[in-house]
Amino acid sequence: MDILPQILMNGIVAGSIMALIAMGLSLIYGVLKFMNFAHGEMAMLGAFFYYFFFIALEWPILPSLIGTMALCGIAGIVFNKLIFEPLRMESPWTLLITSIGVSIFIKSLVLLIATGKSRNYAREGFDITTYELFNGEILITNIQILILIITTLTLIGMAVFLKYSKLGKAIRAVSDNMQVASLLGINVKSTINKIFIISTILAGMAGVLIGYEQNLSPNMGLWLSILAFAAVIVGGLGNIWGAVAGAMIMGILQNILVGIEIFGFSIPTSYKIAIAFTVMIIILIFKPRGLFGISLEEEAGRK
């Protein structure tokens, strides 16, 4: 059996999950112009919030998901109001370093409460079913199908929301030029709060989906932040859909490069993060602004 179709499918699933995190990270960057390295920890929080509802309290899936998204949204606005908002007028480097501190704090807090024990969402009555596609060329589980459906609907919903809703238009205006948006009567502070809520909910949703694919760990936030960072850079800073495309490219290339054996040699899966940054560096050599990044002239026009 040719393994390439299966590798591509695995890459699409991985990339679609990462796209949710990268989109939220790009939303925050579009407004505050800094990389929030605590964003991966928000995905980790979402995974553990869902574990609390679904496993510890044994709630059904839908109430567990609603409770998780609510707590993620609250976490997003709390961290913004208490930490990032007071530093908004500081340099992007100050915000970046602060976000690293927030990341360490969140991970340490989860380690203190949940310990470093590996966890998963398995419980009685929860079964994973595998389906064969194209005469067995591709194997896909019911969980992976659900992941693809959820991420596709979420991305379509975000596209419609950002283009047509009043809040979506306000978010785009604030991202383009915060000062002009304020002069036009848009409440910039309120809009930024809502951006943090939306981006954290997206990250939390991704964390839940990742939890269905692999075990949970308080350390998972770090590599999620790194991969999302690489995806945003590849797609192009300041371009939300570029970040989504970058995530899909990363997911597919990572799985291809670790899944295919060339002349008897294959790259270990532990090198996935190294692959992500290697791809990022190669793309930046030829496209310094990323694949879909705005030009210097466009950026100057926004200021």
Residue 67 CA neighbour count, 13 Å, CB half: 16
Q: What is the pLDDT of residues 190-215, one digit of tens each?
A: 999 999 999 999 999 999 999 988 88
Tokens 């407004």 belong to residue: 31
What's the pTM? 0.89
The answer to whether residues 291 and 244 touch, using CB atoms and an 8 Å cutoff, is no
Query: What crossing angle do the helices spanning 142-164 and 166-176 adopt, rounded to 10°?
Result: 80
What is the topology classification, in CATH, of domain 4-121+138-302?
A: ABC transporter involved in vitamin B12 uptake, BtuC (1.10.3470)
The answer to whether residues 81 and 193 touch, using CB atoms and an 8 Å cutoff, is yes
Q: Tokens representing 280?
A: 């990022």
Determine the Cα–Cα distance for residues 246 and 190; give it in Å rounded to an integer: 29
Q: What is the pLDDT of residues 169-195, one digit of tens each?
A: 999 888 888 888 888 888 989 999 999
Q: What is the pLDDT of residues 280-296, one digit of tens each?
A: 888 888 888 888 866 54
